[in-house]
């Protein structure tokens, strides 16, 4: 299973394993916004209803990777998945 497909700047990835989270702090961000992207907190993405998910494992053409590895591909907090 290559996960739920999402895209950013025309690049498709699959969210294969996520953990649901409650958003803290700013809660009026657009769903799909990258909230964090680092080793400590991982890849956290805003969702509707003041919730978020941590993408623990993602799929790219390069293979299955930990979510925080997307920082190696130039993704940054504030970018928005479609």
DSSP 68: G
Angle of CA points 58, 60, 78, to nearest 5°: 65
Mean pLDDT of 46-61: 93
Mean pLDDT of 3-14: 93
Task: Please name the residues in contact with 50: beta carbons below 8 A apart, sequence gap of 6 or more.
Answer: 22, 23, 27
- Say what the pLDDT of residue 26 is: 63
* Residue 32 or residue 27, greater confidence: 32
Res. 22: pLDDT tops 90: no
pTM over 0.95: no
Q: Which region holds residue 46: left if phi is over 0, alpha if psi is between -120 and 50, else beta?
A: beta
Specify burial of residue 67 (Cβ count, 10 A radius: 0-12, 13-18, 19+): buried
Res. 31: pLDDT tops 70: yes
Q: Considering the chain, what is the average pLDDT of its residues?
A: 92
């Amino acid at each position: 299973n290559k996960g739920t497909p999402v895209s950013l700047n025309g690049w498709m990835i699959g969210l294969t394993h996520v953990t649901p989270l409650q958003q803290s702090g700013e809660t009026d961000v657009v769903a799909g916004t990258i909230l964090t992207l680092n080793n400590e907190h991982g890849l956290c993405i805003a969702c509707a209803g003041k919730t978020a998910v941590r993408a623990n494992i993602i799929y790219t053409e390069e293979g299955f990777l930990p979510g925080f590895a997307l920082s190696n591909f130039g993704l940054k907090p504030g970018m928005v998945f479609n």
